[in-house]
Amino acid sequence: MSSVPSVTRRHLLEYFGSIGLSSTLLPGVLWAKAQERPEQQEGKLTRDMLKGAAAVAGLAFTDEQLDAMIDGLTQNVERYRELREIPLGNAVPLTLHFSPLTPGMTVDRTPRPVRTSTVPQAQRPARLEDAAYWPLVQLAELVRSRRVRSVELTEMYLARLRRINPTLNCVVTFTDELAMQQARRADTEIAAGRYRGPLHGIPWGAKDIIAVKGYPTTWGSGAFKEQQIDEDAGVVELLREAGAVLIAKLTTGELAGGDQWFGGRTNSPWDPNEGSSGSSAGPASATAGGGVAFGIGTETSGSILSPASICGATGLRPTYGRVSRAGVMTLSWSQDRVGPLCRTVDDCALVLRAIARPDGRDFSVVDYPLNWDATREIHALRIGYLENAFAEQGRDAVLQTNDAAALAQLRALGLSLVPFSLPDLPMLRVTSAILGVESATAFDEFARSGGEARLTTPGRGAGFHRGHFVPAIEYLQAQRVRGLIMQQFADATAPFDVWVAPYIDMRAPRPAPAAPGTTPPPAPPPGPILTHFSVANLCGYPCVSVPNGFNAKGQPTNVTFLARPYHEAELLAVAKAYQDAAGWHRRHPAL
């Protein structure tokens, strides 16, 4: 093979022709049309077109090799056109399923009774809104004991959420009629002795990429703000079975990215001048602001952990395959996850317990028990801490102080913390194609129909076209490299049941984007914190974010706990012990 030429605009046009896509997908329609050749009009690929396609893929072939491929590739183009005639919207699933398990990993498959925290007899406050920030376990005791009816609690949260929403901008749609129906049903059942458990009668909110029948599911985008999906998501069905009361569809960054949606920016309850981060912007903001008892969010790459950190909530990203994603907008079939945003670790465990089971709709979900025991003895667990991440240079001094205090608190609990660091993982960079290709595939029909012009955020859809330039072979090779990284990560963390790491400082200044028409400078290599979280996310590991203090501006900071796949019971037990001792979750914003 000859040397690979630099990719030019002509190469991109040739590439589009070679896969049967219109050149009008690139800017400059008239210029593009002028470049079309007679052979292209006849539907026959040419040697030049294949050279352009090869350059885009970073490859080069001899003329003889290209001539030998032309007929077969021309037939492929016809198949691509036929394929694109088949409706494949975002909800159509992928038949391949990712597993976070690597050879040698074990999972506890024996169900055991759930043991919840002992809650003192809860007294009804003189003013019910004084319970708005109470943990779910205490609210549950109020409802179970019938000191507060679900209807009263629901009316309180609906009124409060309406009052704080102009400040937080965290609600897309209130679901009053559904909420009051569910609350009245809960009161009737509890009065008749049919108590379903700690979520029965408890008000909650759903990120607005989660479908709820009869209400809009907007995906945070102006392109979809009138969309109604004629089904309930799997997680909505499971929470209805648990007796929970849905009071609102909460905001998401557009198409599950960031905190900007078609209604503006969602804000942090601690500092409304600061965005909440995202994309589970609304569930984090509303929960931390005392607008719902808990929220359900989703994460592909930081979308639960990041807003939990900014808003001072407790956020749990479960193991990949724990919770059904049926009826939830797809961004990445092999990375999307659904999880709770709550006020405490204990609450996260109770919510996860209700939603962590197969629903017969998402076949990536496995039937492994979540044996939550809030009274578990944790001193026998092996605890590590990511030493080089805590020592990373250039971090804010207050963050380092808060992190050091968190480690000291864990040691004060009698835990022995073992330092470790990850090996170099230069292969990580090549796996970025996985998310890009999967999201481009999930939104391919939308992008090819010109849907990006209706998006609220300019440029949000650019990645949907870039996915066409990743060869199928390179995507699959990246998945194979992912397997190598998973094994390295499993080996590095194998000595531990749970480990502690600082989270990425989302408030740190970012470099300014390159000016149009210029080449951006090469990105600096990621530090140990970013590397660790990128790998843990790529590998499908569970993680919980817990508040660990405040910065100089009075904004919350956090620390994170991680564990091996499907070991949330150990993960949550250690995180709960830290949270109960540190007590940062007992502070609330002054809304």
Q: CB-based contacts of 524: which residues, under 8 Å, 6+ apart?
A: none
Q: CB-based contacts of 6: which residues, under 8 Å, 6+ apart?
A: 55
The secondary structure of the chain in percent helix, strand, coil, rounded to multiples of 5, reads: 40, 10, 45
Residue ranges covered by each domain of the chain: 1-86, 133-425+478-506+526-586
Q: Residue 26 pLDDT > 70, yes or no?
A: no
DSSP bridge pairs for 297: 339
Q: Residue 518 pLDDT > 50, yes or no?
A: yes
CA 76 to chain centre: 35
- CATH topology classification for 133-425+478-506+526-586: Amidase signature (AS) enzymes (3.90.1300)
Which residue, among 533, 421, 540, has the nearest Cα to 486 in the 3D structure?
Answer: 540
| pLDDT per residue as tens digits for the range 138-165 | 999 999 999 999 999 999 999 999 999 9
Two structure tokens written together for 591: 């809304």
Which residue, among 561, 573, 548, has the nearest Cα to 117 in the 3D structure?
Answer: 573
- In terms of pLDDT, which residue wins out, 39 or 96? 96
Pairing relationship of beta strands 245-250 and 337-342 according to DSSP bridges: unpaired
DSSP bridge pairs for 298: 338
Per-residue pLDDT, averaged over 105-109, amounts to 95
Out of 131-145, 272-286, 289-303, 418-432, pick the least confident: 418-432
Sign of CA dihedral 190, 194, 198, 199: negative
For the chain, count helices (H), then strands (E): 20, 13
- Angle of the 568-582 helix axis to the 345-355 helix axis, nearest 10: 150
pLDDT of residue 363: 93
| Highest mean pLDDT out of 48-57, 458-467, 554-563 | 554-563
| pLDDT per residue as tens digits for the range 351-368 | 999 999 999 999 999 999
At 296 the three-state DSSP class reads strand
Q: Please state, as a whole number, how many other Cβ atoms lie within 10 Å of the Cβ of residue 130.
A: 11
- Angle of the 472-493 helix axis to the 528-538 helix axis, nearest 10: 110
Give 72-87 as a DSSP string. HHHHHHHHHHHHHTS-
pLDDT of residue 23: 44
- In terms of pLDDT, which residue wins out, 508 or 500? 500
Catalytic residues: 207, 279, 303
Measure the CA–CA gap between 127 and 221, rounded to whole angstroms: 38
Share of the chain above pLDDT 70, in %: 91
pLDDT of residue 25: 44
CA-based end-to-end distance of the chain: 66
pLDDT of residue 457: 87
When pLDDT is cut at 50, 70 and 90, the band that residue 587 belongs to is very high
At 527 the three-state DSSP class reads coil
Measure the CA–CA gap between 178 and 401, rounded to whole angstroms: 46
Q: Residue 216 pLDDT > 60, yes or no?
A: yes
| Highest mean pLDDT out of 14-23, 80-89, 430-439, 537-546 | 537-546
State the residue for tokens 């690929």.
Answer: 45
Do the beta carbons of residue 269 and residue 589 sit within 8 Å? yes
pLDDT of residue 540: 98
- In terms of pLDDT, which residue wins out, 35 or 107? 107
User: b/e per residue, 318-332, with b = 16+ CB within 10 A?
Assistant: bbbbbbbbbbbbbbb
| pLDDT per residue as tens digits for the range 292-332 | 999 999 999 999 999 999 999 999 999 999 999 999 999 99
Share of the chain above pLDDT 90, in %: 76
Instruction: Supply the mean pLDDT for the chain.
Output: 91
* DSSP alpha helix (H) spans, 414-471: 432-442, 444-448, 462-466
Q: Which element (helix H / strand E) includes 563?
A: strand 556-563
Q: Residue 39 pLDDT > 60, yes or no?
A: no
- As a three-state string, the secondary structure of 354-413 is HHCCCCCCCCCCCCCCCCCECCCCCCCCCEEEEHHHHCCCCCCHHHHHHHHHHHHHHHHC
pLDDT of residue 517: 65
Q: Residue 34 pLDDT > 50, yes or no?
A: no
Per-residue pLDDT, averaged over 563-580, amounts to 98
When pLDDT is cut at 50, 70 and 90, the band that residue 80 belongs to is confident
Which residue, among 327, 364, 407, has the nearest Cα to 565 in the 3D structure?
Answer: 364
Two structure tokens written together for 156: 């309180």
Q: Residue 33 pLDDT > 50, yes or no?
A: no
Q: CB-based contacts of 114: which residues, under 8 Å, 6+ apart?
A: 353, 371, 372, 373
pLDDT of residue 219: 98
Q: Please state, as a whole number, how many other Cβ atoms lie within 10 Å of the Cβ of residue 423.
A: 9
Q: Hey, what's the torsion of the CAs at 447, 448, 451, 455, to 10 degrees?
A: 30
At 341 the three-state DSSP class reads strand
The secondary structure of residue 291, as a DSSP letter, is S
pLDDT of residue 55: 87
At 257 the three-state DSSP class reads coil
